Structure 1
Amino acid sequence: MQTASGARLDMGRVLLLLVFLGVGWFFWDSPVLRPVKLLVVMMHESGHAIASLIVGGSVQSITLRSDESGACLSALPPGVVRQIIVFSAGYLGSAVMGAVLLLATFRFRLRRVVLGAACVWLAVMGVLYARDSFTLAFCVGTSVVLGLAAKFLPEGVVEVVNLFLAAFTALYALFDFRSDLWDSRVRAGSDAALLAGHTWVPAIVWAGLWTLLGISLLGWAAYKSLHADSRPTQMRMPPLTSARRS
């Protein structure tokens, strides 16, 4: 299927994405998926942490809990703009990571690089900012698992792992918007409510803005990832097929 701009819809990529989204949705409450959910929560808190450092603040700790909640404690210089950036970086950070994973795995087929980068990220965040045993154990343990997977798994298996992580991260980011920002009881304790206390802008406004930006970003990443450019003047990524062992 080809669009007017010359981009060809890769049905193999579409099918794979739909399969993994379906698996994530169907087994959403399964304890087997809890480590993957905690991984996305870590992306959320890492977004706060990175934004805090960018605006000139410092990160004191990152905490994960077994109930899939988390917290990032940071100190910020005065300024409303800094607060907006840092508070927005959690939900939008998860959406950004979902978009990056979609592009890296579907569009650019980076495979081992994706798992290697995730391994380094978790190790750094755990060693620098974890202040409790559960968070440290999760970050270091998952980092080791991803590092070993990047090193020793066959190419085809690495690609399957990447594709599932990309699809599940995007799905979790969307569920986060729905459950945390559009449930009034949950929203009262969310980042949107906290930011509302600093800016006098109602939490529902921040919820709407973050949801719009997050869905737009994920939609754009999905569109770019699922289309192969057929114009001969540009580089083309091959369609997603069964990977061969290297």
Structure 2
Amino acid sequence: MSIDSVSDIWETLVSAQPDPPGALVLVTAVIALLVIGFRPLWRIARNAITIAHEGGHALVALLTGRKLRGIRLEFDTSGLTLSAGRPTGPGMMFTLLAGYVAPSLIGLAGAWLLGGNRITMLLWLAVLLLLLMLINIRNVFGAVSVIVTGAIVLAVSWYASAQVQAAFAYAGVWFLLFGGIRPVFELQTLRSRGRMPESDADQLAGITHVPALFWVGLFLAVDVAALVIGGFMLAGQWLPEVGATP
């Protein structure tokens, strides 16, 4: 690859894309909500939330000095991240905290990038993070899920038009912001039926002696805050066009 080619790729990565049509921002939000609300679609799309959830556990485990043992993603959209270290203390606490807030916080970071029209950068960062996650996947279904997701994002970023890239990026970020909230309600529903005795919230309760319901509420508060802040960032791309005078 020539120096000029590398320079062109770098320029593509860091340059801002044109402002998307205001309607695109609104339409992609509606699409994301429909996917989350329609159970058959949610059943498939939820795998992306699980990838973000387990990726959050893995990243925080590494940042807090724990040794990452591996990540599993299952066909039923559940997942498991194994790390070695003290079973109690701040490192374990923050690792457990990270899962249910990771999709929403990733969506918030994506909204910030989209606010600066860094659409290509957002897509390529997503591919990079998926590649790093793939290294730690320990089952076939998990590897296939990450590879397929990464391939779709890469194909869109490399071959699609600017408008298609924008629609894909906005839909993905809206999906993370909205979709990060639904699993918290699913978590509490399963907990109330006694079907998730070892959930992240219950493990946090075990090591902190703070009731699990508090941690469920904290997950929800963080996710809703990310949605509100990220929503304002994304709506800022739409509202100026609505208020524009002819």
Q: Output the TM-score relative to the length of structure 1.
A: 0.80
* Per-residue Cα deviation, 1:137-173 (whole angstroms, up to 9, x for no partner): 2212322222122111111111111111111112221
Q: Is the 8 A contact 2:119 2:165 kept in 1?
A: yes
Is 1:125 aligned to residue 95 of structure 2? no
Q: Is the 8 A contact 1:21 1:167 kept in 2?
A: yes
Is 1:112 aligned to residue 123 of structure 2? no
Task: Tell me: CA distance 1:37–1:157, structure 2 relative to 1, closer, same or farther (3 Å).
Answer: same
* Per-residue Cα deviation, 1:189-242 (whole angstroms, up to 9, x for no partner): 320011111121110111112211221122112123212699xxxxxxx859xx
Is 1:89 aligned to residue 98 of structure 2? yes
Structural RMSD (CA)? 2.6
Distance 1:103 1:239 in 2: 19
Is 1:175 aligned to residue 186 of structure 2? no
Normalized per residue, the structure richer in helix is: 2
Distance 1:146 1:14 in 2: 19
Q: Is the 8 A contact 1:122 1:143 kept in 2?
A: yes
Q: Is the 8 A contact 2:53 2:103 kept in 1?
A: yes
SS at match of 2:69: strand
Task: Tell me: CA distance 1:78–1:26, structure 2 relative to 1, closer, same or farther (3 Å).
Answer: closer
Q: 1:26 Cα shift?
A: 4.6
Distance 2:87 2:181 in 1: 31
Task: Tell me: CA distance 1:54–1:178, structure 2 relative to 1, closer, same or farther (3 Å).
Answer: same
Distance 2:59 2:211 in 1: 25
Is 1:209 aligned to residue 218 of structure 2? yes
Distance 2:229 2:41 in 1: 29
Q: Which amino acid aligns with 1:152?
A: Y
Task: Tell me: CA distance 1:213–1:149, structure 2 relative to 1, closer, same or farther (3 Å).
Answer: same
| Within-5 A mapping of 1:186-225 | 186=195, 188-225=197-234
Q: Is the 8 A contact 1:181 1:192 kept in 2?
A: no
Runs of 4+, deviation exceeding 4 Å: none
Is 1:62 aligned to residue 106 of structure 2? no
For structure 2, the 5+ residue unaligned runs are 1-20
Identity of aligned residues (%): 23
Q: 1:77 Cα shift?
A: 3.6
Distance 1:226 1:18 in 2: 10
Distance 2:129 2:102 in 1: 14
Distance 1:208 1:27 in 2: 25
